[in-house]
Structure formats: C-alpha cells, structure tokens
Amino acid sequence: KDRAFYIERRGHGETVYFDVSYSAVREADASVGGVLCLVTETTDRVRFHQRQAFLLELSRTLPGLGDAARIESYAVQRLAQELGAARVCFGEDKGDGVGFKVSHDWTEGVTSLVGTHSYLTFGTDLYEQLSDGRTVQHSYEQPEPCLAGISTTLHAPVLRGGRLEALLAVHFSDARGCFEEDCQLVEETAKQVWAAILHARAERALHLLNQSLEERVATALAQRE
C-alpha cells in the first residue's frame, strides 16, 4: 500500500506511489503457473495527505512561536526540508513595482538572499505575473550572480486587497519540473505563513503601543503630582 518508487516521466525523475498486489495464477493441477500483478497509482492521494499534514503542522506550531522573525525562519526551513530546496525565503514587496526585501532565508549550498532585490533579476515579467496572482516557475542556464547554483525557481504571490504584498521564493539547485502539487503546497504555505507573520507583527505593535501609553500615563500623573 502506497509503495514509493522512483521513476522518470514528464522529462524529470520523481518519487511516485502505488498500491501493488500479487496473486498466484493456478494451473489445472493447482500448481502455481504464474503471478498476476495489479498496480494502482496513488501518488495524488499520498501527496494530498502529505500536503495536508505539513500545513496542519504549521498551523499548530506557528502560533506558539510568537515572534514574527521566528515564525518566518521556522516556516522557510520546514518548507525547504519538505521540498528538498536549496533556498527558501519570503520577499516583502517595497510598493514601488521594482523590488522586494528579504529579511530571513534558509539556504543549503548557496548564498543568502537577505537584502533588497529587483524583480527583474528573477524574470523580466515576474512582477506582472505575481501581481496577477500567478505562481511563476523559471529555469536558468546563465543566471545572475545571486542565483549561482540555482537551476529552477518557484515564486508564489501573496495578495491582499488585490495588491502584491509579498512573495514566497523556493529555489532548487537541480533542473526539475515543479508539479501541480508542489505549486499548491507553496501557494498554501505562503498564505498561511504570511498571515501568521502579519498577526505576530500586529500583536507586537499593540504591545508596544500599550507599553507606550502606560509610560505616558505614568509620566503625566507624576507631572501632575
């Protein structure tokens, strides 16, 4: 049941899953003359359950981390492990239609992207596609220096109020095709994690505001006294 096999199809190698059963084929004298093998692919079902389990783990873990930076760091590392990526990060849109800022990333064998970057570095029409709500996959033969060691990228948008607010970048060192289930996992992770990050930021801002108000009230009372 759900036996894993590595095969090459659709131009790329991938791990797929099958239910496999073997039954003896009897001769007239009841001896075994052969074997009937029935194979049913279960890849879609297995990957669906894997995706749901991953998202459930995030939903249970992220609220307990509290701090937005810890949430982001944990989420990008877990997604990289889940997909076998070389680099994963969130990029927060700067609002100028030109660039985005990376505050945290997870990398293995490639350089960090922490800093400010242009959308054009990753594709001439990347910003427009993300703004339209589309997840974008690119393959690179002669990448920019910041993409050294990267062959394939997957970028998923996070929109709020119809405006591009952030992107989730997943970069792979090998040339691969990102299948529909990979895209779905990245898209759902992007929405869930970014919502948790914004919630943590809002709670932090509220805490600082309350702290500031308490200090101002204490100061005013002291002045009156």
Per-residue model confidence (pLDDT) at position 132: 94
Per-residue model confidence (pLDDT) at position 143: 61
147 — pLDDT class (breaks 50, 70, 90): confident
Per-residue model confidence (pLDDT) at position 134: 94
Q: What is the mean pLDDT of the chain?
A: 90
d(CA 102, CA 116): 6
**How many CB atoms neighbour CB 18 within 10 A?**
18
d(CA 110, CA 147): 8
pTM above 0.75, yes or no: yes
Per-residue model confidence (pLDDT) at position 37: 96
Section 59-85 average pLDDT: 93
d(CA 54, CA 48): 10
Tens of pLDDT, residue by residue over 153-164, are 999 999 999 999
Instruction: Give the pair of three-digit tokens for residue 208.
Output: 């600082």
Section 2-30 average pLDDT: 90
- DSSP secondary-structure letter at 110? S
177 — pLDDT class (breaks 50, 70, 90): low
Higher pLDDT, 147 or 102: 102
> 210 φ, ψ to 5°?
-60, -40
Per-residue model confidence (pLDDT) at position 9: 81
